[in-house]
Every structure is written in structure tokens, then in C-alpha cells.
Amino acid sequence: MTASIQGMAKIYGLLLCLFPRDFQNEFREEMGDVFTATLEEASKTGASLVVRACFFELFDLPGNLVVEHLSNLRKGKVMKTKSFEVGRSRAVLMAALGMMVGWLLTNWVLINWVYHQDFWKSSQNQQGLFYVAEAIQFTLSFILCGLMLGIAAGLGRRSFLRIGLWTAAGGILGYLVNIPVNMIALNIYLRTVYLPARADLVNLFWQLAMACIFGFFSGTGLGLAFGGWKTGLKYGLIGLAANAVGLLAGFLFFNSGLGYRMPLRIIEPSFIGYGIQGVLAGGILGWFFAKARQPQADPVMRSSNA
């Protein structure tokens, strides 16, 4: 088996963590073996067939994931991971760090590496690549946040990957939902750009809407990683609020005496603003993540103490 096939099989194995636990226990190993066998056979014909086989699997996977989870839901099963407890300060620190590093790292790459390329000077390329760069930017932040929360909770390797992958899956879904929102907002922005004050306001609401959508979906993913749909929804709302607070704090910093007043620009992300957003959004998520997993006080003990 070549290293590339081995690598792809490993990535596929990780993606299979997104299936419900019962399904994983029963079929994960088998599915990994069949995927590897498929790639090995494809590689005998040519490298292009291996890539095709991978894409075929990747395109088919989301639909089957949804079907499996819906089928579990119908049977009244929920996605559960093993019970865990996590210290609040640890969870807050780890999640804040994860999301901040995600935001700063991707912004550093975008500002210093991607946006300065000559390639961007063509407006046609700019629009298409902007969406791709943005997807990576947002998703990576949430992957890191999810993984750090998993580490904070001290879970086993598979469980913490599960939390990271679910959060990332939510982030990707959030990105897809954001595309039409972006298009509408861009349209409004272009109509108001000649009025700087109004354009700034439109831009703020645009960024806020995007942060809320991303926050909601990635939070839902995080909740689903260790609880049922109710937990998912609850964490979706927490994620939404956390990201909105983070974004507003970043915005206020730039428009206060602490930062320097800088016009908000669409393709010019700001380091400190995103850093503040990451720390706050991750921190708030971490706070609730830890709070939800705190052991409840024993009612018998409580009454005897009284």
C-alpha cells in the first residue's frame, strides 16, 4: 500500500467518526478496509482513478451521514459519548486559545500570503478564491476550538477528534449557509459604499450575521458531539451568542480610543479584532461546555448537610 493511499484511508477513517456510535462500532473497520481495497484497485489503473474514487466517496458521505443520524433519531437514540468532566478554567482557556490561534493563523496566511498574490489582482479570481479562502479561515478556527475542547475534557483520542470533527462539520455547514447571506450583503454593501458611515454599518451587520451563522452551526456540531439534538440546539444558540459578543467586542476595540480607527474593509481582516473575537467566542463556548459537564450536587448529601 502506498503512503498516499494510507494517508487517504486515515482521513476517511476520521470522517467515519461522524457516523453514530452504534454504526461506527459495527461497520467502521470494515468500511475502512473496503475503502482501502477500492483505492488499491483504482491505483492499478491510474492515479486519476484514485482521486476520482476519493471524490466519489466524499460526495456520497454527507447524505449517508444525514440518513444514519435521522434513522437514529427516529429510533429515539441520541449521539452519546462517554461521560466526562472538565474544569471550567481549563475549558475556557483551551477553547479561547484554540479559536484565537485559528483566527490569527488563518488571517496571517490570508493577509501575508493569499491576498498579496498577483493572482488576486484579477477580479474574477478574487471573487472565487475569496470564498474558498474564507471557508478555510472560518472552518479552521472552529476545528481548532473543537479539538482544544476535546483535549481540555481529557477524552480519548477518538472522542476528542469526534468533538473537533463535529464542530468543523458545523462550521462547514455554516459556511454553506453563509454564501447566500454574503451575496445579499455584498449587494447591499456595494449600493451603500459611497456613503462611508452607512457602508460601515452594513459591513458590521454583515460580519455579525456571518459570525452568528457560523457560531450557531459550529456550536450545534459541538453539542451533537457529546449530546443529543437538544444539546446541539442549546450549544448552537450559545455559539451564536458567543460569536456575536466576540465580534462586537473586536469591532468596539477598533472604534474606541484603544485601537486606531480603521475603516472596516471586506477583504482586509484585522488581526487584533479577530484575536479578540476568537478569545471571547472560544472562552464563552468553553465556559458553557465546562458548566454543562459539571457533576450535579448529590441531593441526599445536600439535604443531610442542611
Binding site for another protein (CB under 8 A): 23, 26-27, 29-31, 33-35, 37-38, 56-57, 60-61, 64-65, 67-68, 71
| Alpha carbon 62 to its chain's center | 16
CB nearer to another protein: pick between 55 and 205: 55
Residues whose CB falls within 8 Å of the CB of residue 52, separated by 6 or more in sequence, listed in order: 42
Instruction: Read off the amino acid at residue 281.
Output: A
Cα–Cα distance for residue pair 136/105, rounded to 1 Å: 11
CB nearer to another protein: pick between 35 and 289: 35
Min. distance of Cβ 61 from another protein in angstroms?
5
Q: Where are the alpha helices (DSSP H) in 75-122?
A: 88-109
CB nearer to another protein: pick between 34 and 252: 34
Min. distance of Cβ 230 from another protein in angstroms?
25
Residue whose C-alpha cell reads 459495527 in the numeric block: 26
Min. distance of Cβ 29 from another protein in angstroms?
7
Min. distance of Cβ 24 from another protein in angstroms?
11
Cα–Cα distance for residue pair 34/201, rounded to 1 Å: 53
CB nearer to another protein: pick between 24 and 255: 24
Min. distance of Cβ 287 from another protein in angstroms?
36
CB nearer to another protein: pick between 61 and 272: 61
Rounded (5°) CA angle 106-110-116: 160
Min. distance of Cβ 60 from another protein in angstroms?
4
Number of Cβ atoms within 10 Å of the Cβ of 160: 22
Which of the 8 DSSP states describes residue 228? Answer: -
Instruction: Read off the amino acid at residue 292.
Output: A
CB nearer to another protein: pick between 77 and 293: 77
Cβ pair 179, 135 in contact under 8 A: no
Cβ pair 237, 213 in contact under 8 A: no
